[in-house]
Structure 1
Amino acid sequence: MPILPREQPEPAPAKPHEARRIAESFGVDAPRYDQARPGYPAALVTRIVEGSPGPAVLDIGCGTGIAARQFQAADCSVLGLEPDPRMAGFAQSRGLNTEVATFEAWQPAGRTFDAVIAAQSWHWVDPSTGATKAAQVLRPGGRLAIFGHAYEPPAEVAEPFAAAYRRAAPDSPFAGGPARRPLAVYRAAYAKIADTIRETGQFDEPEQWQFDWEQTYTRDQWLDLLPTTGGLTGLRPEQLTAILDAVKDAIDSLGGRFTMHYTTLATTAVHTGTG
């Protein structure tokens, strides 16, 4: 889908980590974000937890705590970092220990962790410093795990959405994107993440993981999720309404629901303890 930058390591701006207005726009409706956004495959969480030397987890760009709560349920102690105080406040209200900061500016004050995770948020971190700082706060043998969803609605939904977006917001940097992206685009982005990890010289060879799953959305469920995405959070109400109306009609033509085929991708590596 062309305008879901919190899911994609390569959103429309050339340097995503500099697009702070978009990065910090998701808190406009934090409760809706938390309710509508999908969680992560249990197998992914289990694999990270079992492949880490202990239970202490740092969640970079934790948002409302969707991923963090899954790690808490797996008996991990999680600290969330979130630059948007609205999102951080919601996460705190749900029981997550949260600090308001970007990863780059955050001061660990000597704290170290068994795992550093970034769930659909690593593209907001400066790639020139992200992996190096992760190594600094990981214990020897600790795991860095960067993951997110690649999901493209069926063409019958994606194409009307893209057309409506171009009409309603022609000046948006997201308006020129394709209606759907092939999985290879997402895989290439995670391969680039692996390159930045290798360049630090402080991790074992990165691994690429993939988890495939499905989720059925009713019309109302999908219309609830769409306004939480980065390409829509900053639109004017009349622009948003025009886009959602087009998507509503498209889903109604499919019988009021559709099945999303998700692929959750992860780039992960173990800190060697050097550097």
Structure 2
Amino acid sequence: MPTIPPERAPISEHGPHRHRQVAESFGSDAARYDRARPRYPQAMVDRIVAAGPGPAVLDVGCGTGIAARQFEAAGCTVLGVDADARMADLARQRGLEVEVAAFETWDPGGRKFDAVVSGQTWHWVDPVAGAAKAAQALRPGGPLAVFWNTGRPVSELAESFAEVYRRVMPDSLAAHQWTTPAVDGYSALYTRAADGIREVGAFGEPEQWRFAWERSYTRDEWLDQLPTTGGHTRLPPAELEEVLAGIGAAIDAVGGGFTMRYATVAVTAARTGAT
């Protein structure tokens, strides 16, 4: 059975998973989250399904079930795990089976899965404890696949977005993220995930998959999504309104809509050996 090494590497000491109050803020408007958040490319879902020895999928940090429903549509049976009961309740309303727990302390109860997936969530999970738990739940050959959507509009609009955040939230990550390549902003998360998988010693060498796609947004669609993202869920109402007004004006200035160029990046590794 995989175990967490007694001397932990420094990759987990200051990771985002320490900030549970942020991770648990997304359920404050679960319906908006489910409605507005982007989905994932079908090519990635199909590749993960093809990599597993069977159809049983465990979705870690399933939220409202956005990724889970895509895996179900691809022919999988999915169990979700999420720490937020509000998100889990909405996922159940959408027909998903969900257990409420932090993944690091969740008990698989002897159950085995053909794939463990986590969309836009693994940075809230301790990367070593999470990989060890995934190894316990996976059948040999089954993949652990953790993935994130990253996106960037055209450079002119990205700079306009950055200017809004520099004015309203000068010390925030959002004030800087629009002026750096989107994928680069997530590179630390990919590295942390891969290092955690390697440290557990129950997987093959991690791989990185990348899928490019686009989605067009109207002004209202983008402003609907914005409050569901990590930099905005805990903003004071007045500050959030100022951000939304500024971003809305920037989108109006380019015609009332734009195309987001997304890259979905997955870190994957196959469970080795026998249980």
TM-score by length of 1: 0.89
Q: Distance in 1 between matches of 2:174 and 2:219?
A: 23
Partner AA of 1:189 in structure 2: L
Aligned pairs for 1:1-80 within 5 A? 14-80=14-80
For residues 21 and 15 of structure 2, what CA distance do their matches in structure 1 show?
13
Give 1:160 shift: 3.3
Quote how far apart the aligned CAs of 1:43 are.
Answer: 0.7
Matched ranges for 1:164-179 at <5 A: 164-170=164-170, 173-174=172-173, 177-179=176-178
Question: Post-superposition shift, 1:112?
Answer: 1.3
In structure 2, the CA distance between the partners of 1:200 and 1:218, relative to structure 1 (3 Å rule), is same
Confirm or deny that 1:268 pairs with 2:263: no
Alpha-carbon deviation of 1:164?
Answer: 2.8
Q: Name the SS of the counterpart of 1:192 in structure 2.
A: helix
* Amino acid of the structure 2 residue aligned with 1:212: A
| Runs of 4+ with deviation above 6 angstroms | none
Report if aligned partners of 2:60, 2:117 keep a CA contact under 8 Å in 1.
yes
Tell me how far 1:110 sits from its aligned partner. 1.1
Residue 56 of structure 2 aligns with an amino acid whose one-letter code is A
Q: SS of the residue aligned with 1:113?
A: coil
Identify the range of structure 1 (245-254 vs 156-165) with the bigger mean alpha-carbon deviation.
Answer: 156-165
Any stretches of 5+ residues in structure 1 without a counterpart? 1-12
**How much does 1:159 deviate?**
3.1
Aligned amino acid, residue 231 of structure 1: G
Q: Which runs of 5 or more residues in structure 2 are unaligned? A: 1-12
- The 3-state SS of whatever aligns with 1:99 is strand
Do the aligned residues in 2 keep the contact of 1:61 with 1:119 (CA within 8 Å)? yes
The percentage of aligned residue pairs carrying the same residue is 58
- Aligned CA RMSD, in angstroms, stands at 1.8
Report 1:65-104 matches (<5 A).
Answer: 65-104=65-104
The alignment partner of 1:123 has SS state of helix
User: Could you state the TM-score of these two structures normalised by the residue count of structure 2?
Assistant: 0.89
1:16 positional shift:
0.5
Contact residue 36 and residue 221 of structure 1 kept, 8 A: yes
When structure 1 is superposed on structure 2, of 59-68 and 159-168 the one drifting more is 159-168
Q: Is residue 150 of structure 1 aligned with residue 143 of structure 2?
A: no
Q: Could you tell me which residue of structure 1 aligns to residue 121 of structure 2?
A: 121
Per the alignment, residue 216 of structure 2 pairs with 216
Q: 1:139 to 1:87 in 2, by over 3 A?
A: same
Query: 1:152, 1:180 within 8 Å by CA — same for their partners in 2?
Result: no
- Residue 269 of structure 1: CA displacement? 0.9
Q: Distance in 1 between matches of 2:184 and 2:165?
A: 24
User: Using the alignment, how far apart are the partners of 1:184 and 1:265 within structure 2?
Assistant: 11
Looking at structure 2, the residues matched to 209 and 139 of structure 1 have their Cα atoms a distance apart, in angstroms, of: 22
Preserved contact between residue 127 and residue 197 of structure 2 (Cα < 8 Å): no
Separation of aligned partners in 1, 2:168 and 2:195: 38
Stretch of structure 1 that moved more, 244-253 or 174-183: 174-183
In structure 1, C-alpha distance between the alignment counterparts of 2:172 and 2:258, rounded to whole Å:
28
User: Which piece of structure 1 moves more, 197-206 or 35-44?
Assistant: 197-206
Are the structure 2 counterparts of residues 173 and 255 from structure 1 closer, same or farther at C-alpha, using a change threshold of 3 Å?
A: closer
Letter in 1 for 2:179: R
**Please, which moves more after superposition, 181-190 or 125-134?**
181-190
User: 2: CA distance between counterparts of 1:189 and 1:113?
Assistant: 24
Q: How many residues end up aligned between the 2 structures?
A: 262
1:89-146 superposed Cα distances (whole Å, 9 cap, x missing partner): 0000000000111101111111111100010100000123111111111011111101
Deviation at 1:58, TM superposition (A): 0.6
Equivalence for 2:10: none
Other structure's SS at 1:45 match: helix
Look up the equivalent residue of 1:237 and give its one-letter code: P
Contact 1:204–1:270 under 8 Å retained in 2:
yes
Q: Report whether the alignment pairs 1:106 with 2:112.
A: no
Do 2:143 and 2:270's aligned partners in 1 also have CA atoms closer than 8 Å?
Answer: yes
- Could you tell me which residue of structure 2 aligns to residue 8 of structure 1? none
Residue 202 of structure 1 and its aligned partner are, at CA, apart by: 1.1
Q: Provide Cα deviations, 1:247-272, integer angstroms capped at 9, x if missing partner.
A: 11100110111111100001111101
The corresponding residue for 2:195 is 195
CA apart distance, 1:176: 5.3
